[in-house]
A and B are shown apart, each in its own frame.
Chain A
């Protein structure tokens, strides 16, 4: 399911280091924020692309519990939930509202038995 223990420690440490460098570099070494324009543009675009890819794959691609076998496609309420969340953010600029709506949609669908 997820990394735990030492693997998670490595992930957290790596994330913390790169985040700190991005936050502190201009304060500590003025001028480090002047990256090449194409690199700045690439970073600007790859973030929403990566997040959208992660969201889509996490709700539509199933892996076997033991990791064996080919991934399979599943279409369910989870896909509707993330589309709803994206729509709410686009319309209302409120991520918290979007998350609450997505959770309620999934919970209601499962309570009513129309989704697993």
Chain B
């Protein structure tokens, strides 16, 4: 229901709803951050390095992929391309927010840009539509309290707790980031073509990695499989990412 945004009671109601919507997302993001912190420690990153990545990049799927890339010997160019591919949907999120925020000062929009992600976008766009106008307080609440702070605190906790675990592999923690990459791949593969690209990439990458090196095998598998997938009709979506609002946002996963 879209409100006119003209009354204080509408604003209070909308803000209360935003607070309620934020809580479970913040908990989920914090737990995910904890897992990232543990993973970062498992691959040898210090707590400061893990914190820096989480604060500056602030994109869970790309961060997990970066850990896997570093371990797998993928070079800087490959990591940057993967980051761009995984985070490209943020273009759509920002584009959807632009009409609501176009009248804000440029420096405020520049600052907001850092905090656009799945969860912050989903919370914000739902809040704006409920209110019928932009209320920047809502964006900052969703972005900082809903996602950024839990992500940072979770990362710190995980990175520091990792030091208390003498042998992470005995606890199964070494499978966290490959499992995170596999799970995120499934999340992103929402039609036949994307599923084909995903499934085809694995064997090609493994074979080329065995013949040559993982740093070559991984991008080769991805590029070859993606090009071949263009020959497949997209078809109906086979797996729906949980959405909030009409713009296909996927709350609960920090992108």
Contact = CB atoms under 8 A, between A and B. Distances in A.
7 contacts: A11-B76, A22-B88, A48-B194, A49-B198, A53-B218, A58-B181, A85-B179
Given A51-B188, A81-B178, 20 more contacts: A4-B45, A11-B76, A19-B87, A26-B91, A47-B188, A48-B201, A49-B229, A50-B82, A50-B85, A51-B184, A52-B201, A54-B69, A55-B68, A71-B213, A86-B182, A90-B239, A93-B242, A99-B35, A105-B172, A107-B172
Nearest to B112: A27
B79 A58 contact: no
Given A15-B80, A44-B194, A93-B241, A27 B217 contact: no
A102 B80 CA distance: 27
A99 B32 CA distance: 9
B200 to A, nearest CB: 7
10 cross-chain pairs, A with B, having the tightest CB-CB distances, nearest first: A24-B113, A106-B172, A107-B172, A53-B205, A56-B202, A102-B179, A85-B179, A51-B185, A33-B95, A49-B201
Contact of A59 (B93, B94, B175): B175
A69 to B, nearest CB: 11
Interface in A45-84: 45-61, 63, 70-73, 77-78, 81-84
Nearest to B239: A90
B206 A57 contact: yes
Contacts of A28: 106, 109-110, 113
Contact of B201 (A53, A85, A89): A53
Given A15-B79, A49-B201, A104-B172, A1 B95 contact: no
Contacts of A114: none
A81 B179 contact: yes
Contacts of A48: 184-186, 188-189, 194-195, 197-198, 201
Interface string A1-45: 111100010111111101110111111101011010000111111
Contact of A35 (B72, B85, B91, B253): B91
A51 to B, nearest CB: 4
Interface residues of B, number: 111
B88 A19 contact: no
A56 B206 contact: yes
B84 interface: yes
B90 A8 contact: no
B16 interface: no
Interface stretch (B3-11, B56-64, B130-138, B145-153): B56-64
Interface size class of A (residues with CB under 8 A): 35 or more
Contacts of B113: 20, 23-25, 27-28
Contacts of A72: 210
Contacts of B73: 63
Which among A48, A70, A108 has the greatest number of chain B C-beta atoms within 10 A? A48
Nearest to B104: A27
Contact of B57 (A15, A50, A63, A73): A15
B223 interface: yes
Contacts of A46: 85, 197, 222-223, 226
A25 B185 contact: no
B44 A55 contact: no
B178 A42 contact: no
B234 to A, nearest CB: 9
